[in-house]
């Protein structure tokens, strides 16, 4: 009986998306209502506690920080921000995450998120949101941080795809590298250099105004533009659009 239970557990484990919870990964730009409505629904509705993390931005938070979530329908919004790793590693700082049903990372530069939170109690409690069945979302830098390999992590410039010291994302979507602003900024071929070095990774590039909703090892495309898939076994990359569903295990459109 024990071996049967173990086998079932192994089969039930996911290889890409979280075992519990879901992800909303947005490619930057204007976020349309079709994305916000699904995000709100996945979180549990307007009264779901959500934490807004603006740390990727070079600007410090102000009285308007988090207003985008209130416009989307969230009523219980907490802004969480620091650049002090010691503060990020305290129980008082992470208290809002312990009750959160959702998290949203703002855009900017992804290295700022890493430098502030990697290896701290904040990073741990972010993962706990998923383990409770919540949702983590993010746009632009807040999309890339969700992959396991961090692209464009260089402090010196976001045109550098691979930067030693800033190559580890937070891994909510494992075995992946996530790029953003794909077509708007002419980045269609940039992920191939990452896949060439790490051929087992799944590359996902999202254009502006476009998102993927990840549940387990599958995702659905939402928004106005395209999502590109970079698979070392299937060249060149190919595109998915609004309403398309993709199986990351088989690497095929459903």
Strand partners, 103: 51, 136
Residue 102's pLDDT is 98
CATH of the domain at 142: 3.40.50.880
Specify whether the CB–CB gap between 195 and 11 falls below 8 A.
no
Residue 184: which domain range? 14-253
Residue 191 lies in a domain: yes
Residue 144 lies in a domain: yes
pLDDT tens per residue, range 204-230: 999 999 999 999 999 999 999 999 999
Residue 128 lies in a domain: yes
Residue 99 lies in a domain: yes
Residue 215 lies in a domain: yes
Residue 1's pLDDT is 40
pLDDT tens per residue, range 87-109: 999 999 999 999 999 999 999 99
For the chain, percent of residues with pLDDT exceeding 90: 94
Specify whether the CB–CB gap between 53 and 100 falls below 8 A.
no
The total of structural domains in the chain comes to 1
Q: What is the pLDDT along the chain (254 residues), one digit of tens a residue?
A: 444 333 333 445 899 999 999 999 999 999 999 999 999 999 999 999 999 999 999 999 998 999 999 999 999 999 999 999 999 999 999 999 999 999 999 999 999 999 999 999 999 999 999 999 999 999 999 999 999 999 999 999 999 999 999 999 999 999 999 999 999 999 999 999 999 999 999 999 999 999 999 999 999 999 999 999 999 999 999 999 999 999 999 999 99
Residue 124 lies in a domain: yes
Residue 8's pLDDT is 36
H, E, C per residue of 166-179: CCECCCCEEEEEEE
pLDDT tens per residue, range 181-191: 999 999 999 99
Specify whether the CB–CB gap between 54 and 145 falls below 8 A.
no
Residue 240 lies in a domain: yes
Query: How many alpha carbons lie under 13 Å from residue 236 in its C-beta half-sphere?
Result: 5
Specify whether the CB–CB gap between 77 and 53 falls below 8 A.
no
- What is the edge-to-edge ordering of all strands in the sheet holding 234-241? 147-149, 173-179, 202-206, 226-231, 234-241
Residue 1 lies in a domain: no
Residue 96's pLDDT is 98
Residue 116's pLDDT is 98
């Amino acid at each position: 009986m024990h071996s049967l239970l173990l086998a079932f557990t192994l089969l039930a484990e996911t290889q890409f998306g979280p075992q519990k919870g879901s992800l909303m990964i947005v490619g930057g730009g204007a976020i349309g209502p079709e994305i916000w409505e699904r995000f709100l629904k996945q979180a549990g509705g307007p009264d779901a506690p959500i934490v807004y993390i603006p740390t990727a931005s070079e600007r410090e938070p102000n009285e308007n920080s988090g207003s985008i979530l209130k416009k989307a329908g969230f009523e219980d919004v907490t802004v969480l921000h620091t650049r002090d790793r010691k503060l990020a590693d305290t129980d008082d700082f992470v208290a809002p995450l312990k009750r959160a049903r959702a998290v949203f990372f703002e855009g900017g530069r992804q290295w700022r998120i890493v430098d502030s939170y990697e290896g701290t109690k904040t990073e741990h409690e972010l993962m706990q949101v998923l383990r409770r069945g919540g949702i983590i979302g993010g746009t632009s830098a807040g999309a890339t941080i969700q992959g396991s390999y961090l692209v464009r992590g260089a402090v010196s410039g976001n045109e550098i795809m691979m930067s030693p010291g800033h190559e580890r994302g937070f891994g909510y979507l494992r075995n992946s590298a996530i790029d953003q602003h794909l077509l708007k900024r002419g980045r269609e071929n940039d992920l191939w250099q990452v896949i060439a070095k790490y051929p087992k990774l799944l590359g996902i590039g999202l254009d502006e105004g476009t998102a993927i909703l990840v549940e387990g090892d599958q995702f659905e495309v939402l928004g106005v533009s395209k999502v590109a898939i970079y698979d070392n076994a299937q060249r060149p990359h190919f595109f998915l659009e609004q309403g398309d569903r993709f199986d990351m295990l088989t690497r095929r459109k459903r």
